[in-house]
Each structure stands twice: as structure tokens, then as C-alpha cells.
Amino acid sequence: MLTGNASCSLICLWLVISGALLETVDNMERNETASEKPIRQSHSLCAGEQEYVNRRKRVVLESLNSLEINCSEDSVPHIALLASGGGQRAALGLMGSLYQMEKDGLLNTLLYLGGVSGSTWSMSSLYSDPQWSTNMDRAVSKLFGPGVELEQALAWLDERAKDELFSLSDILGVLTSAGLMKQLDLRCLSDEASRNATNPFPIYSAIEKQCFSDGPLEGKWFEVSPHEAGFTELDLFIETSLLGSKFQIGELLEQEPEMDMVRLQGILGCALAHEDIIRDFIPPWLNVPGHVDKVAEEYVYVVSTLDTLVGVIRSTIKDPVAQSDLNKMQKILKDKLIHNESTLLESKSLEERKILFQQWSLELLKAVATWSQSLEDGAFRTHVSLLTNKVIPLIMKWEWGTTRNFLYQYKDSTVPSCLRSEEIFHLVDAGMLINVAYPPFLGDKRDIDLIIALEYSAGNMFETLTLARDYAAEVKKPFPEIDDKILEDKDWPKDCYVFEGKEKEPTIVYMPLFNRQNCEDAEVFKAKMEEFATFKHPFSDENIQALLEMAKANMKNNKETLLREINKAILRRQNKRQGWA
């Protein structure tokens, strides 16, 4: 954690950066002759993950024994905890849930931990401590600061901005990391590859933007672990340390330094591109259901990006003058959206609307520039103009998650052309496809017996489940039956549902954050969803505490269900071993 006064911190930061650079150079030299074939195509686990899983299973077995659950070495169940996205709400929810699991002795029954979007922010924060599973108190107390100084965040940004692949994700990464998770962790994910099995094996998910928009399903889901990064359904992977390096026709042309966790966090959780969040920003006059056209959406993106930036900046500063300046900015943004222009829009053709929205976007950016020039001279103004100077050009380009494409010109007909044709691809928030990371955990590869799905999403309850069910059907992987009857509960769900898997299907325990236990009726449920909506206004310490407590209580109230399902998962594994499956 970086604390202390600004000048000391900058020096510390510099030391960390230069340390990281030296280490990378060192690794690169050592790895020059490493592997002949840098792209691995296989349905099975890579050696590093397999070895980790074997070691982790011994930890799981010990923990089952201490819960007095009868289990033998060869029937250790494969349990994955999957945390949904949902901005800061999800990040905090996951913290609270894991905290309670540790207290109840359940945390070490987990083989895997999978996240998307907001939950990856807390994952990257948790795993900065190699022993986090043994000390959730420490992880939780970090949420209450002290934070990272804005200077430090900006120093990181300044450095990043020199890279040709600098994108909006980088900005979101540094702001969510510093502003919400209160840390700036410059480790790389592959640094974790050599760790022991104290924690569940982490898998982060993203999607590739181009294929997401107009490619086949196989080209969409992307997973990253400390060992490998690649496309889940194509079974094509590279070492995580090579993500961002230059490839052509399957050959490694030039190794680049691996991205740090701040950047990765920005890619995984650029939740702004997430429609749940965008939906919150769409003003009623633009929100004709089903008809928010693409150009209107882009305008809303611009406004919401700015609003989010302002919100996250607020969370890093205490100075009342700066706070009041930021309030002014937020008012400017709000005014732009409040004014009902629907009559004007109705009379325009699509082409004319496009031009109009672009004009509005430009006006908005100009308003931001004018606002930042009006600030009093001083550190705050310097920071703000530095930030806006970097942000505005990027918003105009609207580039997210720009990363070098390791499948560039890859000769394999199974690889869709949306992945082969460009030197770079764009990795973005997977919540846009499914807001829970089911894909890496379906099918034989990881052979999961039990999925504990923690639902922190906004939007329609159970949607992540039905989307995952449809996804599984499309890629022909087993998934338990989801009775559509549950949809009747969507406005006021229970705190726990069990969808029992048969044979090769995993069982899913589905746990909504807001539910009948903590909301007395559907009205309160709706109100809670709104109170804790998105992350556009970072939560107060009281809200953080309240959310943590709710997540803890959910876990605590359902301990018996979890124990029962863990027992069943062991039986299932025994049966699998005996070969009925």
C-alpha cells in the first residue's frame, strides 16, 4: 500500500516501477529460448494450473476434514466460487462473502475463484496479498483507506500514456484501483504463477470486443489466469506473461513487458461499456425501450465516462474547494442529460441524429475544458487538466482495452476472421456477454462439481443464469436445468437457490445479494438496488459497511445449504470416479 506524503510516495512509486521493469527484463532474457511454440491449443489444463490444482486439493481436503466432512483424497470435489459483476457493489459484495466464508471455515473448500467486471477489482486487490485467504480482516480493512494520492495515480497514468496502446481502460483501471480499492498494485498476474496453494486458483474473464459485436461465439470469451491467457472456446492460449507481446502467424515476434494489475483491472472492469451501467445514465427522454439507437448510446457513453471520472476523482480527494468544483462539473453533465430534446430528435433522420449527437458530444467536452480552465491555480487544477488532456482525446477515439493480438494471421480455420485479421484486439468487460464467469468453468476441462454463484448484478434477476444456460447449450456443455418458474421471483428473490446438476452437469448454488432476508418486500428490494446502484458515486464508508454486512449475513444464513451441497459434490465425484458418468 502506498501511503505517506506525496513526494515520498512518488519516490516509492518510482522504486516499485523500476524494480518491476528490471525484473521484466530479467525474465525476458531468461525466457528467450523458452518454448518453441508460444501458442498452446489444447482441451486440457496447462501444466502450471494442473500442478496448482493438485496442491490446492490437499488444502481443500484438510479443510473438509476440519469441517468433519468425510472425504478421501481421490474424491475432493471441484468447487468454484463465481462472483458476478456490478461495479463497486460487486467488488464489496465479494469481499463480504469471502470474509464470512473464512470465518465459517468454507473458504478453503474452494478450488477456484472466478470473476468478471467489478468482482475482478476485489480479486486483484485480494491477490496482492499471497496469503489473503488466511486473513480476510486485513483485506476488508484496506477498503477503508488510507487511499492512494491522486498524484500517484496520475504518475502511473503519465507513464502509461506514453504507450501507443494507451486506452480508456487504463484510465478506468487506475481510477478504480486507486479510488475504489485504495491501492495501486504494480505486480503482474504471472508473478503469481509460482505461489503456493494458499488461495483458490484465480481466473479472470474478459471478452474480445470485435468478435463480441459481430463474430461467432467461439471468438468471444477470454480468460486469464496466472499461467495462461486465451480464448476459452477455441482452446488457444499463451503464457500470461506474453499477453501484449507481438505475434504473427503463431510466432512470437517481439516480447513486450507484461501489463501490470492496474492495467489488467481496467480491461476486466471497464464496466462503463456495461449496459447495466449505461442504462442508469440514459435519461428518460432518450430511453424509448428497445430504441436507444447506437448514436444516442455513444453520446451517453461520453457523458457517463466523464461522470464516472468525476465521481472517482471525488473519492480520492478531501479538499472542500475541489469537491465543490467537482460538484459543478457534475451539474454541467446532469444538465446536458436533463434537457428533453425528444421533439428535436423525432424530426431528424438517423444520419442527422448522428451528426447532432456528435455535436453534443463535442460541446460537452468543450464544457469540460472550460470548466477545468476556470479552476483556481494550484495542484488540483494541474491534476485535472493533466487528466482531461489525456482523457478527452481518448473519449473522442472511444478505444478500450487495446492489446496486441496473439492470433494475428494465425493459420487455423477454427479461428474466426474477426480474430485473425488485425494486429491488435480489444479486451473489455465480460459482463456485457454474461455477468458471471461461467464459460471457463463449464465442461470437462475443469470438471466442476459445484458452482457457488454470488449474484451482485443490477438488472434482471436470474438473467446471468439463463444467459449462461443458453451459452452452454450453444457450445454443447452440460448445464443444470433452470426452471423458468423461478422468474416469478425476479422482483423479490430468495437468498439462495439450488439448481441440481445430474451426471456431468455442475450443481449451481445461486445467491442474490438483495433478497427476501434483507428486504421485507419487493418495494424495499427495488429501493436497495437503487440505493446501491453502480459506482458512479463511490459509496460512503457507511454504505461500504452496510453492503459488507449484507453479504456476510447471506453467506452465514446459508451455511447449512452450502455444507449439504458440498457433501453431495463429494458423492458426485466418487460416482464419477467409479465411472457412471
For ligand NAG, the binding residues (CB under 6 A) are: 27, 30-31, 34, 59, 70, 190, 193, 196-198, 239, 241, 284-285, 340, 342-343
Question: Whose grid coordinates read 452496510?
Answer: 546
C-beta closer to ligand NAG: residue 35 or 370: 35
The CB-of-35 to ligand NAG minimum distance in angstroms stands at: 6
C-beta closer to ligand NAG: residue 44 or 417: 44
* Kind and range of the H or E run holding 467: helix 463-474
Residue 19 one-letter amino acid? G
**Exposed, middle or buried, 71 (CB in 10 Å: 0-12/13-18/19+)?**
buried
Q: 225 and 207 in contact (C-beta within 8 Å)? A: no
Q: Which residues pair with 248 in a beta bridge?
A: 251
C-beta closer to ligand NAG: residue 243 or 391: 243
**Exposed, middle or buried, 406 (CB in 10 Å: 0-12/13-18/19+)?**
buried
The CB-of-27 to ligand NAG minimum distance in angstroms stands at: 3
CA angle 531, 434, 128 (to 5 degrees): 75
Q: Which residue number is nearest to ligand NAG in terms of Cβ?
A: 27
The CB-of-572 to ligand NAG minimum distance in angstroms stands at: 15
The CB-of-367 to ligand NAG minimum distance in angstroms stands at: 22
C-beta closer to ligand NAG: residue 340 or 417: 340
Instruction: Give the span between the Cα atoms of 100 and 119, in whole angstroms.
Output: 16
C-beta closer to ligand NAG: residue 291 or 318: 291
| Helices and strands of the chain, counted as H and E runs | 20, 14
Please write down the HEC assignment for all residues of 405-435: CCCCCCCCCCCCHHHHCCCEEEEEEHHHCCC
C-beta closer to ligand NAG: residue 287 or 385: 287
The CB-of-514 to ligand NAG minimum distance in angstroms stands at: 27
Q: 138 and 129 in contact (C-beta within 8 Å)? A: yes
The CB-of-295 to ligand NAG minimum distance in angstroms stands at: 18
The CB-of-344 to ligand NAG minimum distance in angstroms stands at: 9
The CB-of-80 to ligand NAG minimum distance in angstroms stands at: 19
Q: For residue 152, which of 132, 135, 173, 174 has the smallest C-alpha distance? A: 174
The CB-of-431 to ligand NAG minimum distance in angstroms stands at: 27
Residues 6 or more apart in contact with residue 138 via CB below 8 angstroms: 129, 132
> Strand 79-83 and strand 450-455: pairing?
parallel
End-to-end CA distance of the chain: 48
C-beta closer to ligand NAG: residue 285 or 360: 285
C-beta closer to ligand NAG: residue 284 or 393: 284
C-beta closer to ligand NAG: residue 170 or 239: 239
The CB-of-537 to ligand NAG minimum distance in angstroms stands at: 22
Q: 86 and 118 in contact (C-beta within 8 Å)? A: yes
DSSP states of 7-45:
HHHHHHHHHHHHHHHHHHHHHHHHTTTS-S--SEE-SSP
C-beta closer to ligand NAG: residue 214 or 346: 346
C-beta closer to ligand NAG: residue 188 or 451: 188
Instruction: Give the span between the Cα atoms of 269 and 171, in whole angstroms.
Output: 11
Residues 6 or more apart in contact with residue 531 via CB below 8 angstroms: 543
